[in-house]
Amino acid sequence: MTTIFEPAYAKVNLTLDVLGKRPDGYHDLKSVMQTISLRDDIELDIGTGKPWALYCDKEGIPCDERNLAWKAAKVYCEALNKDPDGLEIRITKRIPSEAGLGGGSADAAAVLRALNRHYDNPLSILALAELGAQVGSDVPFCVVGGTVMCEGRGEKLRKLPDMPDCVMVVVKPEFPISTPELYRKIDEKVIANRPDHQAMESALLAGDLSKVGQNLCNVFDPVVTEEHLELNYIKSIFYNYGSIGHVMSGSGSAVYCMVSEFEIAAVICNMLRENYPQVFICKPV
């Protein structure tokens, strides 16, 4: 039996635009995504000689074939005609669920990378990302990581210059978000403020953190904030205590801000922790 460890990094969206509905029912998106140091840990036992099993240390996470990590292992083994002779997946969960931080996708991507490494890397990282598209829309990005422009359903990837060094505070409010419902609402709205992807790319190329902050934009943010005004309270704390830029990630409900120093992040954390237990300080990776 072989045991492999692999980190599963969360993601935030620096920009996120919904371009329209596709014939297959999905939506075309355009988004600059960034991996952050908030992470789950994945442990894989390969060759257990037993039926496949998945364990997670957090309640409420499916521990069977519904879990994206399990799906990823199945897709990999079927695509490459591999029989691991028993597999056990253990997930140490830190990324909040239903947050827009890509926790399930990150776990799936980590399983793909771990299995690929175990079998001596038969697939390039981009081929692995392509395989990940069969598991979920955010999986291809989570396989590659870093700073990436993602288009289509998330399967078209283009590496961008690394994000400038900064500290991030991520806050997950308690309320859940129905992603299908959110897409329905966005289909009915005229989107007033769309991301300027060109400006974001230029800011990244220049390594200009303040310009990156100015160009953070997520078309879902105002739609969710309209119904959950507490997001305005969180953003006001960000703003008053030195945020360079802040926005909701993905379809929410997590919001994050960028600051220049850990000390500022710690103050923001302390201001919010009483009302919001799920507050994290992290960095781009």
Catalytic residues: 11, 138
Is beta strand 87-92 parallel, antiparallel or unpaired with respect to 53-56? parallel
Kindly report the number of other CB atoms within 10 A of residue 251's CB atom.
24
CB-based burial label for 138 (10 Å; 0-12, 13-18, 19+): buried
Tell me the residue ranges of DSSP E strands in 145-273.
147-152, 156-159, 167-171, 217-218, 245-248, 255-259
Alpha helices in 14-149, H assignment, sequence order: 68-79, 103-118, 125-132, 139-144
Helix %, strand %, coil % of the chain (to 5):
35, 30, 35
Q: Find out whether 99 and 122 touch, Cβ atoms under 8 Å.
A: no
d(Cα 149, Cα 141) in Å, to the nearest integer?
Answer: 9
